[in-house]
Amino acid sequence: MTLTISRLALAALALSASIVSVEPTLAAVACNSGNFDTWLADFKTEAAAKGISQQAISAGLAGVTLDQSVLNRDKSQKVFTQTFEEFSGRMVPPRMTRGSNMMKQYGSVLSRIEQTYGVPGEILVAIWGLETDFGVNTGKFATIRSLATLAYDCRRAEQFRGELMDALRIVQRGDLAPAEMKGAWAGELGQTQFMPSSWMKYAVDFDGNGKRDLLHNAPDVLASTANYLAGYGWQKGKDWQPGSPNFAVLQQWNKSEVYSKTVAYFATQLAHAP
């Protein structure tokens, strides 16, 4: 989990909309059946049947073990109860100066991103700051191990099995090596915390270096976040305050109204910053 707050917790025990793209399974591996190693062997067979290369399967899943700390966190989540005033008051003021600086530092990149996707830089920088303190706190959990653990557990097995498949596809595509894939405990990756399914669908190589890198590359991070919002219907040049169509798009990023209102408030503050 990042030092900000997990989107899973903010969505009151439900995964945020940014991670819900899960493909149906053909022959679902039974969750929590037998021991973990047996389950993992069956999962490898299923992954190969779905076209994932043996190289990616071996590289991604070699030596993977169950992480009990992930299960403990998943089962101990509490419903998010902070008000907008409490949450925004805690999250926005400490990030205003750095956010304003990021607006200046990446001004030309943000301008090109807005031209391409229609999403203003203020929104992207606000999300960036709230998710990981502008890339400082992306998480230290081994992503593939976390996803395998949650896919093995029966609470949301199908959902996380799909995410684990997409994590292997990220490896197969060459975006990241398994050892690089570290993030929040529930599998969110990168500086704006994409689940693997969202990474596969929305990650872009904005700087043209041949890799979609949402862990280290700020232009890719910001453009991919814009691509996500555009994919959910962001309307260029329109308002983002509560009640607007663009606010509804922010709630596709995170279903928590408090979180979405905080993004909108932070972005408005950035727009008015000197």
Active site residues: 131
Please give the Cα distance from 74 to 15 (Å, whole number). 11
Sign, CA dihedral 81-267-139-234, equals positive
| Four-point Cα dihedral 210, 213, 219, 224, nearest 10 | 100
Run of H or E including 40: helix 36-49
H-type helices in 96-234, by residue range? Answer: 96-105, 107-117, 121-132, 143-152, 157-173, 196-202, 218-231
Residue type, 222: L
| Residue of 133, 121, 262 whose CA lies nearest to 192 | 133
Q: Determine contact, residues 122/270, Cβ cutoff 8 Å.
A: yes
Give the tokens for residue 166. Answer: 């997409």
Please give the Cα distance from 85 to 9 (Å, whole number). 18
Residue ranges of E strands in the chain: 141-142, 182-183
Cβ neighbours around 257 below 10 Å, total: 14
